[in-house]
Amino acid sequence: MSGSLINLIYLIAGILFILGIKGLTKPKTAVRGNFLSALGMLIAVVVTLFTINDVDFTYVLAGVGVGGIVGVVMALRIQMTSMPQMVALLNGFGGGASLSIALAEYVTRTGINPTSVSDFFQPTAVAASAFGEGAEATIALMSISLTVLIGAVTLTGSLVAFSKLQELMKKSYGLPGGPVGNGILLLGALAAVAFLVMNPGNTMAMVAILGLALLLGLFLVMPIGGADMPVVIALLNSYSGIAAALAGFILGNTVLIIAGSLVGTSGLILTRIMCVAMNRSLANVLFGKMAAGGETIDADEIYDGKVTSAQPDEVAMLLETAQRVVIVPGYGMAMAQAQHAVRELADAMESKGVEVEYGIHPVAGRMPGHMNVLLAEAEVPYDKLVEMERINPTFEDTDVVIVIGANDVTNPMARDVEGSPIYGMPILNVDKAKTVVVIKRSLSPGFAGLPNPLFAMDHTLMVYGDGKKAVIEMTTALNQL
C-alpha cells in the first residue's frame, strides 16, 4: 500500500473523527456521532496494522479478543448512573496506553535488555543515532518523555477520580503545602525530562519521570471534591488526548496525532466551558475547594421555623392544576436512580395536559452531560431537555418547579449574596417560579457547604425522602386524581 493511499485513508478517518465530534454536540445526533468516530478509528487501526512490518497477529487478535470481551461486559453491566466512573476509568486506560507506547519505544531505541529491576537504574550506552540526529533526536526524546509524564498523570489521576466517584475513596488527601507540593513534583518531573534529553542513556531519569508523574496524578486529584469531578473528568480527557497525540509523534502515525489533538483540544474547550459554568478558575478547581468568603452563614437562622414540608399526594394536587412544570434534575436523581420514575411522572402530567420541560444545569451531576445521559436512558425526548440559558427566562411563567437534589446550582446566594463562596456562579433561577417543590433527604448543604435560602422561601415545599420513592408516590397520587 503506497504512502499516498495510506495518507488519504488517514485523512478520511480524520474527517470521520471531526464529524463524530460534531455529532456529539447534540443529543439527537450523538449516536450517529459516536458511530462515525468509531468507524474512523476502525479504519485507522486496520490500515495501520497492514502497513507495519513484522506484526505478529496472534498477539493482536488476542488483544482484540480480550479487550472486546471486557468492553462488552462493561457496557452491559455498568449502569447509566455509574457512567462518570466509566468515563474516568477509560480516560485512565487511554493515558496508560500512551504511557506504555512511550516506554516501549524508549526501551527499544536504547537497546535496554533488563534482567532485573536494578538494571533500570544503571546508565546505558546508547547508539548516537538511536533517536535520530540533531533536532530530530531532541524532538523524539521530548515526545517520549512528555508522553510518559502526561500519560502517567492521566493514569493515576483517572484512577483516583474513579475511586472517588465509586466512593471507594471517601477522604481527601494531599501533599503538605498543597499546590506547592504538587508544583515541586511537576518541576522535578520537568527537570528529569530535560536531563533525559541531554543524557538519553540515563535510565534513572526515565524512572524519575515515571515515578514523579504517577505521584503527581495522585496528589492532583485526591484533594478535589466530588462536585468538581465534571471539570476534572473533562481535563483528564484532554490529558489522554494530548498523550495520544505525542504518542503519534513517537510512532510517526498521522492519524494518531489527529485523533489525539482533537480529543485534547475538545477536552480543554469543555474544561473551560465547565469552569465558566461554575464561575471558577481552573486553578481554583485543581488547587482548592470553593474559596471561603464573607461571614459565616448560620443555617439555623435561615431555616428555623421557615421551612414548609409537604407529602407527595399534596404535591400531586398542585401538579394536576398546573399548566407548566419544569423538572430540575441533580445528583440526587442519579443517586436514587430515579430517571425512569421522573419520566413516568412527566408522562402522567402530560396526559392531563400539563406542559413539562427539564431544566439542565451544565455542571449538575458528576460529569459533563450527566443529566442528559440519564434522562436519555429513560427515553426523555431530547427537545424537552432545555439548557440553563434558555430555561431561566421561562421560570416566571412556570407554575411548579420540581428540584431533585440539585442544591448548589439552585442556590439564590450565588446570585444575591455578594461575598458568599458561590457568588457569581450561574444558577437555575427556580425561585422565580410560582411554586417550588424540592425533593431531598434532608436540609444538608451541597458541596459548597452553604445553606440554601430556597428551602425556606414561602413558595417552596420540601418533600423529604428518597428521590425515586417520592417521585413514584407523586405519580401514583396524580394518576388517582
How far is Cα 302 from Cα 411, in angstroms, rounded to an integer?
A: 13
Q: Residue 45: CB partners within 8 Å, gap ≥ 6?
A: none
| 354 three-class SS | coil
Q: Residue 212: CB partners within 8 Å, gap ≥ 6?
A: 185, 186, 188, 189, 192
Told to judge if 408 belongs to the known catalytic residues of this protein, a careful annotator would answer yes
Q: Residue 406: CB partners within 8 Å, gap ≥ 6?
A: 328, 329, 330, 331, 332, 361, 364, 428
Q: Which residue has the cell 513534583?
A: 185
How far is Cα 298 from Cα 304, in angstroms, rounded to an integer?
A: 10
Inter-residue contact 111 to 169 (CB < 8 Å): no
Cα 117 from chain centre: 36
User: DSSP state, 133?
Assistant: S
Beta strand pairing call for 355-360 and 324-329: parallel
Amino acid, res. 367? M
User: H-helix or E-strand containing 358?
Assistant: strand 355-360
Q: Which of 408, 431, 458, 466 is catalytic?
A: 408
Inter-residue contact 121 to 203 (CB < 8 Å): yes
Q: Residue 268: CB partners within 8 Å, gap ≥ 6?
A: 235, 238
Inter-residue contact 469 to 311 (CB < 8 Å): no
| 89 three-class SS | helix
- CA-based nearest residue to 364, from 402, 395, 399, 407: 407
Q: Which residue has the cell 418533600?
A: 463
Residue 435: what are its φ and ψ, rounded to 5°? -140, 140
How far is Cα 263 from Cα 21, in angstroms, rounded to an integer?
A: 9
User: H-helix or E-strand containing 439?
Assistant: strand 435-440
Amino acid, res. 183? G
For every residue of 376-431, DSSP letters joined together read HHTT--GGGEEEHHHHGGGGGG-SEEEEES--GGG-THHHH-TTSTTTT-----GG
Q: Which residues are catalytic?
A: 408
